[in-house]
Structure 1
């Protein structure tokens, strides 16, 4: 298992790359579907990564706190041929099992992950209502699956976004398993 830190491809102020992806609700979702929100949180994630599994409660807490005001979108870009536990069917099972209420989409071609510069799972990107990047980075400061967070980084930044405050530290690398890229 390769551990990666997220890297910067999109800079603060960059516009969120558009996408049209199939969700576990069997509907296509595009970025424009989320235009009525005060912000958009895109999280590159998957089913099998221990780093994502450790954040299940934190992901659900983000949705409970902010889901009405900030759209939360999980995107799985892993190669499900080599990692069948990240297949579309497994995504549906995982979401049901873990109680995910946010949209969970599959990036079959991996093009969306490449456009965003996503490297690891989880790799979160927070955008304002104009779809400009305001924060790229960790959900909290628990960097290993067994750690307990002492700082809820994403909650703090989502609150700042909603109250119109500037997010000073706009890049705070997330750590996780590498996205499982397809062999070319």
Structure 2
């Protein structure tokens, strides 16, 4: 009887253990940007789509939130990157796909405070149904997806190689990818492991 009960629990748990159970597999390098027509609520109160956000030279999408300690550690570096490359014709957006019912710190009003306190000069939007995160296969906050001018993925992964010490970063993965993009070159690294909190999908 005990063995049968254990087997039943395992069967019930399989959907949670299988890759992609919480959404699609992560986009592969070269994949097209998905869900470009889905409206998301920006911190200014308006609605935006990725089609409207995309830049002339490329588009940077970072899945983020407020409560995650990994986001908090990388916050200023992420904001500096966003503000800098937005001025270089790269579309920039931070997306919060977390369920605010599970994490009240990630509610819309908190996002507005976060954007103001940290000087976001780019859209910060709420993925109202988590549909965008699921389509991207995003799993973590923060997690970066960089697309070229043809909306093809050229980099996916981490911000850099040092969470705790900005002054000791040796491999600025995302900056390197952005600089390569602006030169029309292939990023030196196109995929790195994302380290952060799991996205709490709706």
8 Å Cα contact 2:33/2:152 also seen in 1: yes
Deviation at 1:116? 0.3
Once superposed, what is the RMSD of the aligned Cα atoms?
1.6
Number of the residue aligned with 2:31: 14
Number of the residue aligned with 1:31: 50
Give the gaps of 5 or more residues in structure 1: 1-6
Q: Distance in 2 between matches of 1:101 and 1:156?
A: 21
Count of aligned pairs: 174
Compute the TM-score of the two structures, normalised by the length of structure 2.
Answer: 0.81
- Of the candidates 64, 70, 78, which is equivalent to residue 59 of structure 1? 78
Q: Which runs of 4+ in 1 moved over 3 A?
A: none
Which has the larger Rg? 2
Q: Distance in 2 between matches of 1:158 and 1:114?
A: 24
Q: If each structure's helix is expressed as a fraction of its own residues, which one has the higher value?
A: 2
Give the gaps of 5 or more residues in structure 2: 1-23
Number of the residue aligned with 1:80: 100
Deviation at 1:45? 0.4
Number of the residue aligned with 1:102: 122
Number of the residue aligned with 2:8: none
Question: More relative contact order in 1 or in 2 (CA 8 Å, sep 6+)?
Answer: 1
- Of the candidates 157, 162, 168, which is equivalent to residue 137 of structure 1? 157
Q: Distance in 1 between matches of 2:110 and 2:132?
A: 20
What SS does structure 2 have at the residue aligned with 1:55? Answer: helix
Number of the residue aligned with 2:135: 115
Q: Which has the larger displacement, 154-163 or 57-66?
A: 57-66
